[in-house]
Structure 1
Amino acid sequence: MKYFEKRSSRIAAAISSVVAAVGMVTTLTCVSATIAHCAEEVNLAPPGLLEAVGSDLTAANAYKKSPPWKIGFSLPGTSNTWLVQMTEEARLEAGVHPEIGEFLVTNSNYSAQKQVADIEDLLTKNVDAIILSPVSPPAVTPVIEKAAERGIPVIVFIGRADTDKYAVQLRGGGEPFGKFGGDFLVKQLKGRGVIWMFRGVPGIPEETDRYNGAMSALKGTDIKIGVEVWGEWNYAKSKQICENLALSGKPVDGIWFSGAEMTRACIDVFRDLKKPFVPMTGESNNGFLRAWKENGIQAIASVWPPAFGPAAVRTAVALLQGRQLHRNYFSAPAPITSATFDQWFQPDVGDAFWLGSTLPDEKLKEMFPRAK
């Protein structure tokens, strides 16, 4: 049984409360009688975290290959605990499929040039499938197309592709993520005031999408952006930036964040300086939820599930088994609010844990023990 099938009943109940999904997400039924083969039902993620979109399907048996398989997994970077957890969940998922002989993980350190070189190297190693989270969609287009020419399926996840030569794309809802936070601040500030904006890593497509989503929420309001900084989804860097801003006396009525590590940093700064808390946006990180509760701040948390990693592995497995899938999936779960907080927060689990996970309780507590 795969890890996600034994996951926490608390998280499953929380997800069920915010989506109208029943059971694990599966591919959709045929929408036209002209489609020769319906996409098979394939369990990719817990309910509500990933939904099939559109009617475009992979061809039946297009990538079928006898095991053992060699699968490449190309990361944009590992600069935060979300990426670390997501990658570990992907490794664990690969480990429960005996058909996977090798699972090769590369880290581009947010360099598009290095990522292209990494993928070229994976191709020379004759991988059977490539799982790719692009640093720069245009930069990886040639290697995606080269893999497609060789009949190697490329699964693009988290980010997006600038070519249609991928096999399957698992898109993250960056714009909804950002808009949830922007809408929250508009409501909290009654449409007027000054906010700070903490952005992620420059140039990463999902970061840009999150920012664009926030800006769409602010459009037409009297909310002004007093400061816009790059915290790079990093706690230490964001803490220093936030401390400098707080000590500068720059006005702030609310803060929008592109990621929860940056939110936790600012919460710690405001608490340590005894500065009154303002409404802040966050993300589905257990440490952020704990800080939210302990400090009594007004907040919201967009959900960015580490379940993306294992879902991408399951996608590769299904394709190599010859199964037919939808080509496009999308993730935009409803955010965590004060009304749903208790259904998500895990008080007995450590702060580094990210919700929307596939880990069963026993593995979760082993990997993320609560500090005494």
Structure 2
Amino acid sequence: MIGRFTRAVVTVTALGTLAATAACGVDSGDSSGDGDGTSGAKSKALKVGWSTIYLTPSWMQQTDKMIKDDVAKLKGEGKIADYKVFNANGDTSQQIAQIRAMIQQKYDVILVDAGSSTALNPVVEQAANAGITVVNFDSLVTSEKVVRVGTDQKEWGRMMGQWLGDKLGGKGKIIAFNGPAGVAVSEERWQGAEEALKKYPGIKIAANVHSEYNLAPAAQAFASAYSANPDIDGVFSQGGALSAAALQTLVKQKKKLVPITGENYNGFLKLWQQHGKDGFSSLSTAQPNYLGVIALRAAVAKAGGASVPNQIMVPLPKITDENLTQYVKPDQPDDSYPIQELPQPEIDKLIGK
């Protein structure tokens, strides 16, 4: 679930301010071990910190739980001694401060979900130069000096565009429903979709709509575009809340349920399952929460002396009409993101084991 915050470049100059800011937003509820901050030999259990831009969204909370569950396993194996979460509460300057604090406290491993693709480059490189294993996942920095774990956002768009083109038999009118204009993830997904849709000259884009990745503004944006283009044959949507908003609009107005691409946003998956009997069809994918677990495993392996790829691209899952029941969770909130956990042998392959 990328595109959850606005990226900003910040400059922080006062070391005293850094130390003071870093004291905020630390989750120490899952901490154990000697905590002396020394790295020692490679065989020593590791001191691990996770720097995240924020924890409020349900996607982040699910990721937090997955990482903590895996930390518990690694503690049981004697590989991790201490683990803390540093929550920057949406403030990139605070995230920089917290990472610098971890450098000063001699963490062995720092995981990063970045608040800026560029502003964090100097501090993550400082950590790497200090001998700390740094692994960045989900929202990625541009620095090539740290291990990065993510998905191919252009492939996300290509996969959705290809499916929609095939589903429509290569002709028809569609609404392109994208994320906020200028947000890198939104732009990359749409670039991929455009590449795929160029193969179908019979498909015309009636409107290109931008919205926040939230249900209320998405519903308003789609309703406006749809009122001007009620004769569409499909919707390219690159986010789950956007897809839910589009499908809700069609259902409420009792219109034809055209194909809509989507994401593993549970509210959309529920609607999809509910209206599948009415002929509704979709292909959805996910920014999987287990990126955090892959990042943790890669970091522990690298800190232990193993060779780990500098860039780990994780395959995008496919949610189809046929396997929808494996993903949708009727008893869970709409704003959750159900995902099938990746088996450990698959994680081992990705990190080069």
Give the equivalent residue in structure 1 for 2:130.
150
CA distance in 2, matches of 1:148, 1:182: 39
- Amino acid corresponding to residue 294 of structure 1 in structure 2: Q
Contact kept in structure 2, 1:80 and 1:233, CA below 8 Å = no
CA distance in 2, matches of 1:203, 1:143: 25
State the Cα distance separating 1:143 from its structure 2 match. 1.7
| 1:221 pairs with 2:205 | no
Contact kept in structure 2, 1:189 and 1:253, CA below 8 Å = yes
State the Cα distance separating 1:284 from its structure 2 match. 2.6
Q: Cα 1:62–1:335, aligned 2, differ >3 Å: closer, same or farther?
A: farther
Report the identity percentage: 26
Q: Cα 1:345–1:188, aligned 2, differ >3 Å: closer, same or farther?
A: same
Give the equivalent residue in structure 1 for 2:210.
230
- Amino acid corresponding to residue 102 of structure 1 in structure 2: Y
Query: Secondary structure in 2 aligned to 1:146?
Result: helix
Give the equivalent residue in structure 1 for 2:186.
207
State the Cα distance separating 1:257 from its structure 2 match. 1.6
Q: Deviations over 1:262-318 (max 9, x none)?
A: 211222222122232221001234432221121121211123321112222222333
CA distance in 2, matches of 1:105, 1:311: 19
Give the equivalent residue in structure 2 for 1:85.
62
Query: Secondary structure in 1 aligned to 2:216?
Result: helix
State the Cα distance separating 1:240 from its structure 2 match. 2.3
- Amino acid corresponding to residue 207 of structure 2 in structure 1: V
CA distance in 2, matches of 1:305, 1:346: 16
CA distance in 1, matches of 2:313, 2:41: 22
Query: Secondary structure in 2 aligned to 1:139?
Result: coil
Give the equivalent residue in structure 1 for 2:50.
72
CA distance in 1, matches of 2:296, 2:49: 9
- Amino acid corresponding to residue 240 of structure 1 in structure 2: Q
Match of 1:355 among 338, 341, 347: 338
Higher relative contact order (CA 8 A, sep 6+): 1
Give the equivalent residue in structure 1 for 2:311.
328
CA distance in 1, matches of 2:192, 2:309: 26
Q: Cα 1:149–1:199, aligned 2, differ >3 Å: closer, same or farther?
A: same
RMSD: 3.1
CA distance in 2, matches of 1:134, 1:179: 25
CA distance in 2, matches of 1:216, 1:352: 30
| 1:245 pairs with 2:228 | no
Q: Cα 1:202–1:310, aligned 2, differ >3 Å: closer, same or farther?
A: farther
CA distance in 1, matches of 2:103, 2:140: 20
Number of equivalent positions: 297
State the Cα distance separating 1:346 from its structure 2 match. 4.6
**Higher deviation after alignment, 82-91 or 140-149:** 82-91
- Amino acid corresponding to residue 73 of structure 1 in structure 2: S
CA distance in 1, matches of 2:84, 2:245: 34
CA distance in 1, matches of 2:89, 2:210: 20
Give the equivalent residue in structure 2 for 1:178.
157
| 1:301 pairs with 2:278 | no
Give the equivalent residue in structure 2 for 1:50.
none
User: What are the residue-to-residue correspondences of 1:1-372 with 2, within 5 Å?
Assistant: 64=42, 66-67=44-45, 69-75=47-53, 77=54, 80-98=57-75, 99-107=80-88, 109=90, 115-166=95-146, 168-201=147-180, 203-222=182-201, 223-249=203-229, 251-296=231-276, 297-347=280-330, 351-358=334-341
CA distance in 1, matches of 2:61, 2:261: 22
State the Cα distance separating 1:80 from its structure 2 match. 4.3
Provide the TM-score with structure 2 as the length reference: 0.72
Q: Cα 1:79–1:252, aligned 2, differ >3 Å: closer, same or farther?
A: farther
Provide the TM-score with structure 1 as the length reference: 0.69
Query: Secondary structure in 1 aligned to 2:261?
Result: strand
Q: Deviations over 1:200-243 (max 9, x none)?
A: 35555433332221111112433333333333321222122223
CA distance in 1, matches of 2:102, 2:210: 32
Structure 1: which 5+ runs fail to align?
A: 1-60, 361-372
